[in-house]
Amino acid sequence: MEKQTKMIDEVKKQITTAMKARDELRLSTLKMLLSELHNLEIDKKELTKEDEISVVKHEVKKRKDAIEALRQAQGKRDDIEERLNREQAELKILEEFMPEQMGDEELEKIVDEVISETGASEMADIGRVIGAVMGRIKGQADGSKVSAMVKEKLQ
């Protein structure tokens, strides 16, 4: 018997619940997430918590990008509003699987620690600092938020 991760088990339970409730949107979103988790599990043999979060983050980012593109196209086509609403609903479902997001004060403290530990003092160090911060927060803050905060500190 193959070892299941906690997230895969939770997604399977929620799929069953969505089927019983006849919630087609939730069902299709959860099935897509389960598929992506299984694909990565096949590649890696065993998933870590970070692997699971990275799959969810990737799917969340895809929805956010689609929402942004649809907002820019709004008014040009009739079906945009419906697609936009669907993407937003899928995003909300996927965000349930994301870890609790870190507050600005806590994130700023970590950014300050990394900057002082690495001795970073100029914009040329931005990549190194962002990489170290992202490694510490493990999906608890959005990368664009981290990037903006590091840029502000290094300027």
pLDDT of residue 23: 92
Over residues 69-103, the pLDDT tens digits come to 988 887 777 778 888 899 999 999 998 888 787 78
Considering the four listed CATH numbers 3.40.47.10, 1.10.10.1800, 3.40.50.300, 1.10.1510.10, the one that applies to the domain covering 6-95 is: 1.10.1510.10
pLDDT of residue 1: 34
Q: 87 — phi, psi (to 5°)? A: -60, -40
Q: How many residues does the chain have?
A: 155
pTM of the model: 0.72
Q: 5 — phi, psi (to 5°)? A: -85, 160
pLDDT of residue 99: 79
Range 106-114 average pLDDT: 84
Average confidence score pLDDT of the chain: 85
Phi-psi region of 22 (alpha: psi -120 to 50; beta: other; left: phi over 0): left
Given a cut of 70, whether residue 4 has pLDDT beyond it is no
The CATH number of 104-154 is: 1.10.10.410
Closest CA to 106 of 144, 61, 151, 136: 136
Which residues of the chain does CATH 1.10.10.410 include?
Answer: 104-154
Given a cut of 50, whether residue 2 has pLDDT beyond it is no
Range 41-51 average pLDDT: 85
Which residues of the chain does CATH 1.10.1510.10 include?
Answer: 6-95
